[in-house]
Amino acid sequence: MKLIVGLGNPGERYKLTRHNLGFRVVDRLALRTDIRLSERSCESVLGRGMWEEQTIVLAQPQTFMNRSGTAVACLIAETACNTANLVVIYDDLDLPFGQIRIRSRGSAGGHRGMLSILECLGAAEFPRIRLGIGRPADGIDPADYVLENFGETELAAVDEIVEQGAESAICLVKDGIYRAMALYNRPRP
């Protein structure tokens, strides 16, 4: 079984912000796998189903980003999933806009949602898919930047980035993390 969690903030106010790329990728995965996000449990919206002969749970924590760990820890316990089968998808300021980076483990790298997850799970050995949003211009607070909608010049590429994020997650589930890393850990053209 795979538990795939996309990070974001709940509510219409945040729906199209940079910080909600994880939610958007999970929405795309739900469409691609025909899994409905219709359940509510562990402070999350989730869907369960079979895909490629594997049980998949897709989840979007409805806590705010910096409390994502409480929802993820609950989901791990409820689904009896081990952390090696957890995949977390989230935005990353430290990657150029549109770049994807898949890792099998690591630190929070300053991302408060990931920090919350690491603290609540007490483990860093789980796959993560980081989606680059780039750094803000000088003088713009990164905390404000992630809560803004994408700029006009970025909008045309967002759907492609969401699609690539979903494809990388599908590859990770089907072919394993090393294949996914080989295919998707490249600079965006």
Q: Return the higher-pLDDT residue of 188 and 36.
A: 36
Q: Which long-range contacts (CB under 8 A, 24 or more apart) does 63-67 make?
A: 63/10, 64/9, 64/10, 65/7, 65/8, 65/9, 65/19, 65/112, 65/113, 65/116, 66/112, 66/113, 66/115, 66/116, 67/116
Superfamily of domain 2-184: Peptidyl-tRNA hydrolase (3.40.50.1470)
Residue pLDDT, tens place only, 90-124: 999 999 999 999 999 999 888 999 999 999 999 88
Confidence of residue 188 (pLDDT cuts 50, 70, 90): low
Q: pTM for the complete prediction?
A: 0.95
DSSP state of 149: B
Mind listing the pLDDT tens digit for each residue in 41-66? 999 999 999 998 899 999 999 999 99
Q: Return the domain boundaries, the chain.
A: 2-184
Query: What are the start-end ranges of the H helices in 18-175?
Result: 21-33, 68-79, 112-121, 142-145, 152-175
Q: Which tokens is 65 given?
A: 């980003």
Q: Please, what is the average pLDDT of the chain?
A: 94
Distance linking the first and last C-alpha atoms of the chain: 33
Q: Which of 19, 111, 128, 130 is catalytic?
A: 19
Judge whether 19 counts as a catalytic residue: yes
Per-residue pLDDT at 73: 97
